[in-house]
Amino acid sequence: MRTVGLTGNIGAGKSTVAELLVAHGAALVDADKVAREVVEPGAAAYQPLVDRFGEDILDADRRIDRPSLAAKVFGHPEELEALNAIIHPAIGVAMIKGKDSFAGTDRIVVMDIPLLKDFHREMLALDAVIVVDVPPEVALERLTTVRGMSEDDARARQASQPSRAERLEGADFVVDNSDGTEQLATEVDRVWGELQRLPDPKVGESTEPERSTP
């Protein structure tokens, strides 16, 4: 098993790259999906959130109502810190479990993490990091024309994320998504070939006890 982080700023096309990697045979562990799952009733973060923020964060079906929860923490740094202290460990444990479910296989496991940090590389024992890259002005155009965001909202979201230079500094592989779908498929094909050449940490390990020289 080889474990690869996948990241990219908003509007870069990271989700499309993830789909293309899965089509090549990668297994996917999606941090956004995990974040939704850990707040479901009975999941790890559900009751701690209710205990901390009250039952008024629940909707009619007693699920976490995200806008209500967001309203509790918006503009309140201490509340946001409390939220992160509940959510982030639960997500981390679930991500590790997702990765470990492929242990012992020869799969390439892609960990899709929007805000990938150095600690993720260590925590998840990533063998490499892929950054999906586009110029900020291209991402801005896609956010406003494809996703329908206002320019102010799109710019604010871009400003809240790591800079392009910061992303690229932590990249082992870069997927250029500046020119659209056909070029993107070619880029992913290239990176997939590179990923297959990554050394498998388990290859070369002996299962026999070490023998001392007579």
State pLDDT tens for residues 5-27: 999 999 999 999 999 999 999 99
Q: What is the pLDDT of residue 205?
A: 45
- Token code pair at residue 161: 């994320």
Cα–Cα dist 67/51, whole Å: 17
pLDDT of residue 208: 40
Question: What is the pLDDT, as a whole number, of residue 213?
Answer: 36
Mean pLDDT, rounded, for 46-68: 96
Minimal CA–CA distance to 187: which of 27, 17, 30? Answer: 17
Over pLDDT 70: what percentage of the chain?
94
Q: Can you give the pTM of this predicted structure? A: 0.85
Q: Which helix (H) or strand (E) holds 30?
A: strand 27-30
Average pLDDT over residues 188-210: 73
Q: What percent of the chain has pLDDT over 90?
A: 80
CA 105 to CA 100: how far, in whole Å?
10
Confidence band of 39 (pLDDT split at 50, 70, 90): very high
The pLDDT confidence band at residue 202, using thresholds 50, 70 and 90, is low
Tens of pLDDT, residue by residue over 113-162, are 998 988 999 999 999 999 999 999 999 999 999 899 999 999 998 998 88
Q: What pLDDT is attached to residue 199?
A: 86
Give the ranges where the chain is alpha helix by DSSP (H). 14-24, 31-37, 46-53, 66-73, 77-100, 118-123, 136-145, 151-159, 164-169, 181-196
pLDDT attached to residue 74: 86
Residue ranges of domains in the chain: 1-26+107-201, 35-97
Q: Is the pLDDT of residue 69 over 80?
A: yes
Mean pLDDT of the chain, nearest integer: 90
Check whether domain 1-26+107-201 has CATH 3.10.20.30, yes or no:
no
**20-24, 92-96, 163-167, 185-189 — which is least confidently predicted?**
163-167
Residue 209 has pLDDT above 80, yes or no: no
pLDDT computed for residue 157 by the predictor: 87
Helix, strand or coil, per DSSP, at residue 174:
strand
> Does the structure show a pLDDT above 50 at 55?
yes
